[in-house]
Amino acid sequence: MLFTASTVKDTLPNIERFVTGNLAGGVDHMIVFLDAGDPEVRAWLDEHPHVTCVRTDASWWNGERPAELNVRQRINANVAKALLSLVEGAEWVFHVDADEVVQVDRAVLAAVPEETRVVKLAPLEAVSRKHWDGDPTWFKRLLGKPDLTLLQTLGVIDRPSNGAYFHGHVDGKSGVRPATDVWLTLHHGVDAAKAELPAYADADRLRLLHYESYSGEDFVRKWTSILAAGPMANFRPAREPTAVALRALIDKGLSEEQAAPYLMRIFERTTEDDFDTLRDLRLLVEVDPRQGTHVPATATDGDLEHLHALLDGVRGEPKRSFHPGEPAAAAEEVLTRVAGGSRYAARGARRFLRRS
């Protein structure tokens, strides 16, 4: 089975798109760590048969909640990855955000060589417009130098680089075979030394839809949420001025009504795409993730019960052991306690607990 792990704080409509799109696009089961306690979102997730919802409240962090969202995301993803290494039916786990939708050809994924431990998803980014009628269905793909130079010459972008063309990340996202000696970062699968591991890629059939600031409204919602989530994270150089400008505006203490026109001006100057030009030049890909044909596999009662019991057990444990760069032995020690003292055994590259 293909699992995803996500740390989310979003509106119910966006969460519904996130879950529906991922399950239609190739995912079987989603582990969603709620970074904020929205009762409506939690209730919807709790009722979904292909979602395991984890409330990351004070009892989850035990007084050690990392201030930075990026750190919380990495820890939660690797908690899920480590626990799934003990679940027999778990074959892959991908780390994705609430504004991302996995699009994988499961036949391609099944053919990945057994010794390959990481799979890379190529990004497609939603075109940013002031308003969409419904969800976005037009996406930008990574471009080669000739097309980037054309867009620069036309004045569509400032520099002939995908970093200037995309508003979000250009690295895509990764999935790993669940094990305790491989880690998920925000974008890569890494080893104990945090060195990126070789990854299997197929940009046409293993990809990720990224709804990065796809409208003026979403731009305002996302960036105010990011800036309220903790200390300023590290952004790509192209996005750093946007983050600084938004922080300065928010710090002015303006009312929502007073701030709204300035937020929209920042969107127009930094993020809005020239949709007509990009479409006329045939640089866009049209995708409706809700039309995906994948039927999610249903986890066995035993696997789901095991996963839920492990999540309950790890709730009271310190979470820092699961951050990339920490020794695998630290996470294994936690897992041994959580699994009731069972001992580890090796099965190929994957480590798992042998139940007694």
Average pLDDT over residues 40-61: 95
Nearest-5° angle of CA 181, CA 9, CA 179? 10
pLDDT score recorded for residue 207: 97
Q: Is residue 350 pLDDT above 80, yes or no?
A: no
Which phi-psi region, left, alpha or beta, contains residue 321 (left: φ > 0; alpha: ψ -120 to 50)?
Answer: alpha
- Mean of per-residue pLDDT scores for the chain: 89
Start-end of H helices in the chain? 12-24, 39-47, 58-61, 69-84, 106-110, 145-153, 162-165, 216-228, 240-250, 256-270, 275-280, 301-314, 328-338
Residues counted in the chain: 356
- What is the β-pairing status of strands 189-190 and 183-184? antiparallel
Domain ranges, ordered by start, for the chain: 2-122+172-213+289-354
Count Cβ atoms below 10 Å from residue 309 Cβ, excluding itself: 14
Nearest-5° angle of CA 288, CA 293, CA 294? 115
Q: Is residue 158 pLDDT above 70, yes or no?
A: yes
pLDDT score recorded for residue 228: 62
Indicate the DSSP class of residue 288. Answer: -
Answer whether 174's CB lies under 8 Å from 118's CB.
yes
| First-to-final CA distance of the chain | 24
Q: Is residue 174 pLDDT above 70, yes or no?
A: yes
For domain 2-122+172-213+289-354, the CATH architecture is: Alpha-Beta Complex (3.90)
Helix, strand, coil share (%) of the chain residues, nearest 5: 40, 20, 40
Nearest-5° angle of CA 137, CA 222, CA 129? 35
**Angstrom distances, CA of residue 2 to CA of 67, 69, 94, 110, 201:** 30, 25, 8, 11, 16
- Read off the pLDDT of residues 232-281 as tens digits, 9 standing for 90 and up: 555 666 667 777 888 888 788 877 788 888 888 999 998 999 999 999 99
Q: Is residue 198 pLDDT above 50, yes or no?
A: yes
Kindly provide the b/e burial profile for residues 249-262, where b requires at least 16 CB atoms within 10 angstroms of the residue's own CB. beeeeeeeeebeee
Would the CA dihedral through 333, 335, 337, 342 be positive or negative?
negative
**Above pLDDT 90, what percent of the chain?**
69
Say which residue the tokens 């001006």 belong to: 265
pLDDT band at 345 (very low <50, low <70, confident <90, very high): very low
pLDDT score recorded for residue 344: 41
The SS3 call for residue 136 is coil
Say which residue the tokens 């995912």 belong to: 27
User: Does the pTM of the predicted model rise above 0.85?
Assistant: yes
Say which residue the tokens 């409330």 belong to: 55
222 vs 155, residue with greater confidence: 155
CA distance 30 to 6: 8
225 vs 280, residue with greater confidence: 280
pLDDT band at 355 (very low <50, low <70, confident <90, very high): very low
Average pLDDT over residues 294-306: 91
Q: Is residue 342 pLDDT above 50, yes or no?
A: no
- Read off the pLDDT of residues 69-95 as tens digits, 9 standing for 90 and up: 899 999 999 999 999 999 989 999 999
- Read off the pLDDT of residues 90-125 as tens digits, 9 standing for 90 and up: 999 999 999 999 999 999 999 999 999 999 999 999
Q: Is 142 exposed, middle or buried (0-12, 13-18, 19+ CB in 10 A)?
A: middle
Q: Nearest CA to 120 among 49, 68, 170, 45? A: 170
pLDDT score recorded for residue 229: 56
